[in-house]
Amino acid sequence: MRVVIKIGTSTLAHANGRLNIRRVEELCKVISDLKNSGYEIILVSSGAIGMGVGKLSLKEKPQDIPTKQAAAAVGQCELMYTYDRLFQKYHHTVAQILLTGSDFKNDDRYHNFQNTLGRLLELEVLPIINENDTIATEEIKVGDNDTLSAMVAASVGADCLVLLSDIDGLYTADPHKCADAKLIHNVKELTPEIMALAGDAGSALGTGGMKTKLHAAELCRDAECEMVILNGAEPNLLYDLFEGKEVGTRFFAKGDRA
Ligand code: GLU
């Protein structure tokens, strides 16, 4: 089974941008174990800008493009260094792939990406993908990693995309504002009612929100790929998910499809 796991900045870092060491260690352990048990895993990881902010001790997420891109250049290095070190502990080799939106539109680059990724999986390497933030300008960027991870999942024929987020899944209303908001466990169809649940608030360091997750769901539906939103604060939920337990919000579960 081929699985793309998207890790958001809020899962990797504390609110000040510094690495959440316990969380990341747990996550790398669980992902290594899933890989050992036979899953083909591709990570799409955010965190470059957030970790750059932490490493450069900037007071807040920069607003201007050159500082954002500089933070990404510093943070991407730190991010891969961290993954390399932690996965090494479980004898897994990582590879970095940085993409922009235009790489999906250019046939040659797209095929090269698919070939490289395929070969990395054959070599049992763990590919870790992010947007190439230092060169991605408005015209060519994908813009958020929920969408990027769905594009990756579609292009590699993944069976499932898991979005690790700072919430448990899709709720019937904003759980921060509405006490009786309920978690929706299964979404079979992206009805107008479901699409209307997309608020537009992102987290402090990342860019996502429910809007980008539902957009990712549209891409997954078209690619016939299952998608799950899970709380990244509890990496063990990944075990529950693959044991078939009802966790997070599952879109287009295999059994639901005709
Ligand atoms: N590529 C951005 C980063 O690594 C994150 C984009 C996102 O979180 O959606 O900081």
How far apart are the C-alpha atoms of 137 and 115, rounded to whole Å? Answer: 26
Mutate to test the pocket of ligand 1, among 5, 7, 49 (most ligand atoms within 8 A of CB): 49
pLDDT tens for each residue of 112-154: 999 999 999 999 999 999 999 988 877 789 989 999 999 999 9
- pTM here is 0.94
| Residue 193 CB coordination number (10 Å) | 9
Ligand 1 centroid – CA 179 distance (Å): 30
Question: Given the CA of residue 146, which atom of ligand 1 is nearest to it?
Answer: 9
Contact 162, 4 (CB under 8 A): yes
Ligand 1 centroid – CA 130 distance (Å): 7
pLDDT tens for each residue of 71-86: 999 999 999 999 999 9
Question: Hunting for tokens 């054959």 — which residue is that?
Answer: 122
Q: In the structure encoding, which two tokens stand for residue 75, read together?
A: 């943070």
How far apart are the C-alpha atoms of 226 and 211, rounded to whole Å? Answer: 18
Would the CB of 208 count as within 6 Å of ligand 1?
Answer: yes
**φ and ψ at residue 224, rounded to 5 degrees:** 55, 45
Amino acid letter, 133: D
Helices 65-88/48-55 angle, 10° precision: 100
Ligand 1 centroid – CA 56 distance (Å): 17
